[in-house]
């Protein structure tokens, strides 16, 4: 059935591809982002995600049923602008949660992240419920957001759903300010200069998924019947175990002269504080989370498409 959906952060790495996928499914997609968009054929608003009245105007004007709040300041940038990160990541969420509480929208998606986990969390097969002491501003905002989601669900009955995304690898829209961004830059450099200087150590593993799997998971979660949703903080999602060294080895099978050298910076400590693999049993059993794109295929796709 056609729905009117609002995607806030529509011009970002995930937002752009999510809008396309929601459109293909027959939804009426309204895009909003702080950045202006050049494609006039698309219904688009310039929006500051911390402006509740502006969000509300769009929701009312278009009879929006579902909101995807994808605007956020990511981990590396947030370390440089803690106050701004907190304001953006929290205010935007509280605004849309309130709209749901006031019954102005029916359903809400909000992404959390593997960044909620900290250095004292079990690194392998990280459980859904475990020690959660995030060591970054971004991680703190995501964990706090998870608790707000659970609170609005239990106290006000808000249907808010969330995923703890692994790092997301894609070629259509560049990410900005994340720690896992290296896993995208490396492909650009491989095809361009044939060399890449990594700010993450060779053997630091973080879970990552290909964008199409992230989008499929997001839509599957949002379409699942309400009674199948048993997690109202945010679902653990595992990914492929990716490190700079693994990427270098696989890229070399296509481009034998490719070379990576290392100049790590503050982002290394961030990546090292995150898990290597995640227990995502609940996502699999509750609504069928599946990874369709394996590591070899991901590398091949990235090398084919990235510019």
Tell the smallest beta-carbon distance from residue 39 to ligand SER (Å).
Answer: 26
Nearer to ligand SER, 113 or 198 (CB): 113
CB of 142 to ligand SER, least distance (A): 7
Q: Kind of pairing, strands 112-113 and 163-165?
A: parallel
167 binds ligand SER (CB under 6 A): yes
Q: Of these, 179, 198, 233, 273, which contacts ligand SER (CB under 6 A)?
A: 179
Which of 68, 109, 110, 165: binder of ligand SER (CB under 6 A)? 165
User: Quick one: 115 exposed, middle or buried, by C-beta within 10 A (0-12, 13-18, 19+)?
Assistant: buried
Site size with ligand SER, rule: CB under 6 A: 10
253 to each of 189, 196, 250, 262, 296, how far by Cα in Å?
Answer: 15, 16, 5, 20, 10
* C-alpha span between 57 and 199 (Å, rounded): 42
Sequence-ordered alpha helix ranges (H) in 181-232: 182-191, 211-223
180 binds ligand SER (CB under 6 A): yes
**Residue 239 within binding range of ligand SER, rule CB under 6 A:** no
Among 10, 16, 27, 75, binds ligand SER (CB under 6 A): 75
Torsional class of 177: left (φ above 0), alpha (ψ -120 to 50), beta (otherwise): left
- In the complex, what is the shortest distance from the CB of residue 154 to ligand SER, in angstroms, rounded to a whole number? 25
Is 138 among the residues known to form the active site?
yes
Report helix, strand or coil for 28.
strand
Question: What's the min distance (Å) between Cβ of 74 and ligand SER?
Answer: 4
Q: Given 68, 138, 152, 165, which residue is catalytic?
A: 138
Question: Residue 218 gets which letter from DSSP?
Answer: H
19/115 with CB nearer ligand SER:
115
Q: Using an 8 Å Cβ cutoff, are 177 and 77 in contact?
A: yes
Residues that bind ligand SER (CB under 6 A): 74-75, 113, 115, 138, 165, 167, 178-180
Active site (catalytic) residues: 138
């Amino acid at each position: 059935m056609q729905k009117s959906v609002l995607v806030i952060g529509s011009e970002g790495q995930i937002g752009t591809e999510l809008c396309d996928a929601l459109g293909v499914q027959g939804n009426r997609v309204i895009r909003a982002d702080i950045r202006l968009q050049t494609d006039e054929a698309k219904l688009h608003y310039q929006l500051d995600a911390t402006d509740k009245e502006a969000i509300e105007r769009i929701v009312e004007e278009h009879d929006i049923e579902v909101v995807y709040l994808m605007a956020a300041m990511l981990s590396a940038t947030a370390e440089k602008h803690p106050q701004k990160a907190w304001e953006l990541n929290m205010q935007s969420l509280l605004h849309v949660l309130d709209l749901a509480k006031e019954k102005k929208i029916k359903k809400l998606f909000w992404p959390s992240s593997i960044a909620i986990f900290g250095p004292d969390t079990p690194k392998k097969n990280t459980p859904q419920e475990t020690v959660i002491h995030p060591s970054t501003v971004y991680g703190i905002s995501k964990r706090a957001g998870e608790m707000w989601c659970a609170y609005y669900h239990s106290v006000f009955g808000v249907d808010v759903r969330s995923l703890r995304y692994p790092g997301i690898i894609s070629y259509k829209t560049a990410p900005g300010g994340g720690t896992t961004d290296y896993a995208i830059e490396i492909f650009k450099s491989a095809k361009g200069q044939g060399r890449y200087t990594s700010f993450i150590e060779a053997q630091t593993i973080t879970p990552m998924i290909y964008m199409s799997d992230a989008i499929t998971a997001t839509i599957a979660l949002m379409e699942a019947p309400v009674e199948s949703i048993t997690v109202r903080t945010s679902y653990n999602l595992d990914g492929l175990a990716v490190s700079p060294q693994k990427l270098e080895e696989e890229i070399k099978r296509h481009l034998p002269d490719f070379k990576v050298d290392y100049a790590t910076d503050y982002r290394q400590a961030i990546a090292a504080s995150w898990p290597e693999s995640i227990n995502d049993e609940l996502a699999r059993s509750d609504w069928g989370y599946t990874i369709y794109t394996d590591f070899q295929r991901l590398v091949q796709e990235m090398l084919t498409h990235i510019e």
